[in-house]
Amino acid sequence: MAEIDRDTYAVVTKGLTKRFGKIVAVDHVDLTIRRGEVYGFLGPNGAGKSTTIRMLCGLLDPTEGRGYVLGHDITTEPERIKEKIGYMSQRFSLYEDLTVRENLDFYASIYSVPKEIKQTRIEQMIQMADLSGREGELAAHLSGGWKQRLALGCSIIHKPQLLFLDEPTAGVDPVSRRNFWDLIYRLSEEGITIVATTHYMDEAEHCDSLGFIYQGRITAQGSREEIKANALKGGVLEIDCQPMREATQLLEQLPGVAEVVRFGNTVHLVIEAGGPTPTEVEARLTSEGLKVNRAEVTTPSIEDIFVSFVGLADRRSLRAQLRRMREGGV
Amino acid sequence: MKSRLLGMMRKEFIQMWRDRITMAMMLFMPMMLLGIIGWAINTDVKHMPTAVFDQSRTRESRDLLHTFANSQYFNLDYYVDSYEQVTRLIDSGRAKVGIIFPPDYARLLKQQRATQVQVIVDASDPLVATSAVNAANAIGQVGSLQIASGTLQRSAGRVPPIAPLDVRVRAWYNPDQVSAIYIIPGLLGAILMQTTITIIAMVVVRERERGTLEALIVSPLRRWELMIGKIVPNVLMAYAQMTFALAFGVWLFDIPVRGSLPLLYFLSLFFIMGTLGLGILLSTLAKTQQQAMQMSYFIFIPSIYLSGVLFPIEGMPPLARAVAYIIPLTYYLQILRGIILKGIGISYLWTQLLVLTAIGIVLISASILRFRKKLG
C-alpha cells in the first residue's frame, strides 16, 4: 500500500469476500474509509455488515480479497491492528459478574494501558459513561443504556485510533441511542475514526460517510451529501389523498413511478428520472375522482435512498424487512 | 505482557470468588462424597436372617450356633428340618444365610477328627455375601481354636493334626480392599479430576456464550496469555479443594498420610495440568455450558470405573486394562495411594510422573492448538 493511502485512509478493502460453505456472506466488498470520519455501514440483518467488521478486526479470516486497517494487512498483521483499534459488539462483551470499575480495569490491563495513567483513564471513562457513583455496581445490574456506555468505555480505554461499533444501538431505547451518538461525536472530535454498523436507517444522519450493503454486496458508498445528491434524480413525492387503497393501486400503474410506499397517512412515490411532477400526479388522481389534499416534493429518507440502490425485484421485500426491524427494534 | 497476564488472572479470581455456588460446590462436594462413603455406605452387613438345619442336635452344635448369634452378623430366625427348607428360605429371600450341621458333627469332634459345617450364602447381593463369608470365616477360626483348646485339655497336651472344625464358605473377594481408607484417596483423585475438567470447560464456554471471548480475541491478549490466565487460578483452586478434602479425610476418617505431603502436592500439579488441558479441549468442542458439563461426564465415567478407584485394574480384561493405562487418573491414583497409604517416595513414582507429564503436554498443546484465536 502506498504511503499516502496509509495517511488518508483508515480502512481500505479490495474484493473482500467471506464464504461460509456455499453461502456468500460478503461478496467482493471494496471499502474506503477516511481517517477521522464517522462511517455508517448500513444494511438489513444478514446483509454482511457484521461479517465485514469481524474480518477487519481479525475475528474472521477472509476467504478472498485483501484488507488494510490503519495500514496493516488484516491477514498478515492482525496483532498490530488489535493494539490500535477498539471494538464494541452488539452483545456489549461485559463481564456481568464484575463491577463497573473491575470491567474497565480488566480491559485497561489487557490493552496494556500503562500503570501510571490507568486510574486516570478509568476515571475518565466513568465520567464519560456517566457512571459516577455506580463504580462498585455489578455490570449485570445496569440497564441497557448504561451497559452500552460502559461497553463503549471498555472499548476505548486504550484510546484507539479506530473504533468499530457493531450494531451499538440495537435493543437500546431511543433516548439512550441519542445520548450514545452524542458520545460518538465527541470521540470523533478527538480524532478517532468511527466505523459503525446499523440497521436503523435514521442513524445514517449521524454519519459523514455511508456504505450500503445488501446481500453481501456494496450497493452505494460515499459521503452522505454525495449519496443524497446522486440518488433519486427523480425525487420523492408525498401524496395525501382519499381513499388511499385506490390511490395506491392507481399510482402503481403510473409510468415513471419506481415505487409506491405507504407512509403513515400518506403515500410516498419514488419517481424515476423524467417521471411525473406533483401537478401531473394530482391531475391524474383527480381525473379518476379521488380527493387529493396535498401533493408535493419531499426530501427522500435514507431508507428511500437505500432502497433505490437495490434492484427493482428486491425492493418490496427489503422495505418489509426494514419496517419489521424498525418496529421490532431488533 | 505482564499487565495482560496479571489482569487476566485477577479477573478469573474475582469471577471465581463471585460465583459462590460453584465455589461451595468445589469445596463441599468432596466432603459430601467422602461423608457418604465413610458413614452411610457400610460394607459390613449385620443381623442377616439365618436358617439353621441342625442334624446333630448336640451341645457342641448349639455352642457353635451361639458363637454365630453372638457375632451379631447372624440372626438365627429359622430352625428347619431339611436341606430343602433351607434352600427354599434362601430362594424366597426370607433368609440370607443357611447353616447346616452334619449328623455326625459332635461325634467326629469328640473323636478329634475334622468335621464340616456348611454355610450357604445368598450371593446375589455381594455386600451381604462378603459380610457373611467374612464373619463365618472368622467364627470358623475362633471356633476351631476354642474347640481345639477344649480337646487339648482332655487329651493332655496332644495337638490335633488338623483343625477339627472347618466352616466351609466360598470367599468372594478380599473386602479389605474396599474399606473407606482405601477408597478415599481414590475418590479424592476422581473428584479433583471431575471438578477441574468441568469448571475450566464451563468458564471458557461461558466467555464464548456471553460474547466476551470475542472481545478477548480482538484485544492484543495473546493466546497463551489467555490460556495461562485461565489455568493458573484453576490450579490454585484445585489445590485448595485437594487440601480441604484431604484435611477432611484425615480429620474424620483417620486417613493416614504416611508419605511426604510436599511430594504429593508437587506430583498433583502434573495431574491437574493434564485435566485442565482436557477441560480446555472440551471447551473448544462444546457450544454451551450444558454440553461442556455432559462431555465432562463422558470422561468421568470411564475414568472412575477403569482407573482403579473402585475396582482393581489387575482384575480387568486386557482391553479395559489398555484403556485404563491411557487415563491420567490411573497414574494419579497410584501416586495418591502410594504416598498417602504406603508412604512411598519419588523413587517409586518416576513412571507415573513421566506419564502424567507426557499426557499433560499432549493435552495442553492440543488445547492451545485447537483454541484458535478466531471465531470461524
Instruction: Please report, for the domain that includes residue B109, its CATH number.
Output: 3.40.1710.10
Residues in chain A: 330
Residues B76 and B109 in one domain: yes
pLDDT score of A189: 92
Residues B141 and B220 in one domain: no
B5, B18, B218, B224: which to substitute to probe chain A, counting the most A Cβ within 10 Å?
B218
A182 touches chain B (CB under 8 A): no
Give the three-state DSSP class for B308. Answer: coil
In a domain? residue B375: no
Kindly list the averaged pLDDT for each block of 10 residues, start to end, along chain A of length 330: 67 92 91 92 87 92 92 91 92 91 95 93 92 92 90 94 90 85 92 90 86 88 82 78 79 80 80 79 80 80 78 74 68
Under the phi-then-psi rule, with left for phi > 0, alpha for psi from -120 to 50, and beta for the rest, what region is B77? alpha
pLDDT score of B163: 44
From B160, B175, B190, the end of a domain falls on B175
Question: Long-range contacts of range A249-255, CB-CB < 8 Å, 24 or more positions apart?
Answer: A250/A284, A250/A285, A250/A288, A250/A290, A251/A281, A251/A285, A254/A281, A254/A284
Residues of A in Cβ contact (< 8 Å) with B7: 105-106, 108-110
Q: In the structure grid, which three cell numbers stand for residue A131, read together?
A: 457512571
Nearest CA in chain A to B3: A109
Taking the CA of residue A22 and the nearest CA in chain B, the distance in Å comes to 15
Q: In the structure grid, which three cell numbers stand for residue B7, read together?
A: 489482569
Residue in A60, A109, A110 closest to B376 by CB = A60
Residues B177, B315: contact at Cβ < 8 Å? no
In a domain? residue B61: yes
A109, A122, A150: which to substitute to probe chain B, counting the most B Cβ within 10 Å?
A109
Give the three-state DSSP class for A239. Answer: strand
Whose CA is closest to B147, among B58, B259, B19, B39? Answer: B58
Taking the CA of residue A129 and the nearest CA in chain B, the distance in Å comes to 19
B64-78 tens-digit pLDDT: 888 888 877 888 999
From B143, B175, B207, the end of a domain falls on B175
Nearest CA in chain A to B217: A59
pLDDT score of B23: 87
Whose CA is closest to A197, among A314, A29, A80, A70? Answer: A29
Contact A59 B8 (CB under 8 A): no
Distances (CA, A) of B257 to B192, B254, B343: 18, 9, 7
How far apart CA B144 and CA A14 sit, in angstroms, is 97
DSSP A138: B
Nearest CA in chain A to B18: A97
The residues spanned by each domain of chain A are: 3-226, 230-328
Residues B260 and B332 in one domain: yes
A25 touches chain B (CB under 8 A): no
CA atoms within 13 A on the CB side of A20: 11
Residues B115 and B171 in one domain: yes
Class of domain A3-226 (CATH, top level):
alpha beta
pLDDT score of B44: 62
How far apart CA A112 and CA A104 sit, in angstroms, is 12
pLDDT score of B156: 41
Fold of A230-328: Alpha-Beta Plaits (3.30.70)
Residue in B4, B218, B374 closest to A109 by CB = B4
Residue in B1, B217, B220 closest to A59 by CB = B217
Contact B210 A96 (CB under 8 A): yes
pLDDT score of B177: 37
In a domain? residue B212: yes
Predicted TM-score (pTM) of this structure:
0.77
Residues of B in Cβ contact (< 8 Å) with A53: none
A61 touches chain B (CB under 8 A): yes
Residues in chain B: 376
Kindly list the averaged pLDDT for each block of 10 residues, start to end, along chain B of length 376: 88 93 85 75 73 90 86 88 88 85 85 78 72 75 54 41 46 40 82 91 91 91 90 94 89 83 95 93 89 89 85 82 90 91 87 94 88 61
In a domain? residue B184: yes
Residues B278 and B301 in one domain: yes
Round to the nearest angstrom and report the end-to-end CA distance of chain B.
26
Distances (CA, A) of A281 to A244, A259, A296, B37, B109: 14, 14, 10, 90, 129
Residues of A in Cβ contact (< 8 Å) with B15: 95, 97-98
What does the DSSP assignment read for A258-307? Answer: EEEEEETTEEEEEEPTT---HHHHHHHHHHTT-EEEEEEEEPPPHHHHHH
Residues B362 and B306 in one domain: yes
Residues B163 and B184 in one domain: no
How far apart CA B295 and CA B288 sit, in angstroms, is 11
Residues B68, B143: contact at Cβ < 8 Å? no
The neighbour count for residue B214, using CB atoms within 10 Å, is 20
In terms of residue numbers, what domain contains B325?
2-40+179-370
pLDDT score of B305: 86
A159 touches chain B (CB under 8 A): no
In the numeric block, the cell 467482493 is attached to A28
Residues B315 and B213 in one domain: yes
Residues of B in Cβ contact (< 8 Å) with A154: 215
Contact B376 A94 (CB under 8 A): no
* A165: phi then psi, degrees, rounded to nearest 5: -120, 115
- ipTM over 0.95? The verdict is no
Residues B125 and B241 in one domain: no
Residues B202 and B131 in one domain: no
> What sign does the CA torsion over B116, B117, B118, B121 have?
negative
A140-189 tens-digit pLDDT: 999 888 999 999 999 999 999 999 999 888 878 888 888 899 999 999 99
A11 touches chain B (CB under 8 A): no
Residues A89, A167: contact at Cβ < 8 Å? yes
Contact B218 A83 (CB under 8 A): no
From B128, B151, B175, the end of a domain falls on B175
Give the three-state DSSP class for A85. Answer: strand
Please report the residues numbered 44 through 83 in chain B whose beta carbons come closer than 8 angstroms to any beta carbon of chain A.
none
Contact A110 B216 (CB under 8 A): yes
Query: From the CA atom positions of chain B, what is the Rg in Å?
Result: 29
H helices of B155-260, where?
180-210, 212-218, 223-253
CA atoms within 13 A on the CB side of B234: 31
pLDDT score of B141: 67
* B105: phi then psi, degrees, rounded to nearest 5: -55, -55
Residues B321, B235: contact at Cβ < 8 Å? no
Residues B251 and B363 in one domain: yes
In a domain? residue B376: no
What domain count does chain B have? Answer: 2
In a domain? residue B244: yes
> What sign does the CA torsion over A140, A144, A150, A152 have?
positive
Residues A87, B215: contact at Cβ < 8 Å? yes
Residue in A61, A97, A112 closest to B15 by CB = A97
